[in-house]
Structure 1
Amino acid sequence: MYDEDDLTVLDDIDAELESPLDTIEPLDAESVAPAPDPEAMLALLEAPETQQRMLATRAFCELQDERAIPHLIRLLADGCPLVRVSAAYALGRNPSPTAVEPLIVQLNRDWNGYVRKGVVWALGNCRDRRSLVPLTDALKTDISAVRLWAASGLAQMASVGYEAVVASIPPLIEALMQDPVAAVRSNCAWSLGQLCRELPSNVVYAGAIDGLIEALAEDEDLSVREDAKSALLRVGDPRGLQIIETLEMEGI
């Protein structure tokens, strides 16, 4: 879907995985009060100047005010990518069912990887069944920075319901086994640990435990193995606990 040479991908993978908001230049101390005034920020969401819209959208990454939601949805399509990414993050802080479809539309059309990353984060925070397919697609096809948060976002399906949890697990297992980026695999392990806690002991649950055990025993990256171990400990699955004990006794 997206090429790893996307214009927004940075020269090294660590930089790519940083937060989009980390790349925005700090504003002057006089420009942003420690506690932004919601009324003033609401007005600036309609400002014609890009810098003022950016200031306002960034403020709602901290503030929660449902009055901002329609404006933030509109700003997802702003001409400035820094406004778009801030609007996405702000909608993640102010989740609403009305934002889900606009976020999905923007995820599918935005050329900017940082914006898509923010959108994926917001979709996860919306905890909505409609987010499942776009998050799954992003985990399979997008650049690594977006896949990273798509993996985490799928953990939020635990709040949506049993069917959403069941549908989230196979793509997470696949990415845990196959994704070339260790940080993405780690997030998959964490999400599987979260989702397994919501499942009865069935075939889907067993498949997730199998995936975590395989990652624990065979992944080449220490951080992935540690996250798989933490997930198994969190779930408390007897088979997983036995494997952990065996590996520790063997000094692995």
Structure 2
Amino acid sequence: MNAIISASELASDLAGQNRPVLLDIRWQLSTAKAAGEPPFDGRAAYAAGHIPGAVFVDLDRELASPPGAGGRHPLPDVAEFGAAMRRAGVSARVPVVVYDGGQGWAAARAWWLLRWTGHPDVRVLDGGLPAWDGPLETSAATPAEGDFEPAPGAVGLLDADGAAALARSGVLLDARAGERYRGEVEPIDRVGGHIPGARSAPTNDNVAADGRFLPAEDLHARFKALGASDGTEVGVYCGSGVSGAHEVLALAVAGIPAALYVGSWSEWSSDPSRPVAVGPDPQ
């Protein structure tokens, strides 16, 4: 099954009999803001205009647990996640399409969580809302309660020890910007650098200038050059399990299964006993 859907395909599906559930996951990473600039408000963006029928889902509150020892975006409580998805109208036998403001990270987090908990038919709108050229609405959708019951474990999940082991036995990709991988800057976490043995694979290199994914064959070639050939076990991490989910999605588009280390660098680097590598080489 395709992991992404184009805007034209979505418009066709919305006009058909098997209309998908639409989830709006607009979110932005909270970093240092210009003086006086308010933080991004995804719910306000949703209220200003969204694809007709879409339901807003809050990444920080519904797709993650509160920050803590498990990182900035730990896995959500499974029961609470299931309840949030049912409130949004998600059912086991109804397709789901998720989108965000165009970066794709937040939508991929929702895609990964639904896939990990067993939903069989989830796709991300390629290019997000900017790719949509249909009408928008401002009234909040009120879907009927869904019946989705999460069953975790359908796709790969890594913890810190599993990520460390995979960096030696397979391929562990670091989806953050190259300068963070190399340890040259670290705007968010305790220390810069990367998990020893991990290979730098910035998420932004998986998409074109318009935010849409590169063709599958180009992505496959990219990941093969990074060591992710057929039969190789592959894992991904990022800062807190959001952009890493986007890289897992890119790997899926390329036909390569991969596990996600959800705690990612925000969890790894919070423990001073864990080793840190710096520079351009995996080490």
TM-score of the aligned structures, taking structure 2 as reference length:
0.26
**Larger RCO, structure (CA 8 Å, separation 6 or more):** 2
Normalising by structure 1, we get a TM-score of 0.28
- Considering fraction of residues, name the structure with more helix: 1
Q: Is the strand fraction higher in 1 or 2? A: 2
Higher alpha-carbon Rg:
1
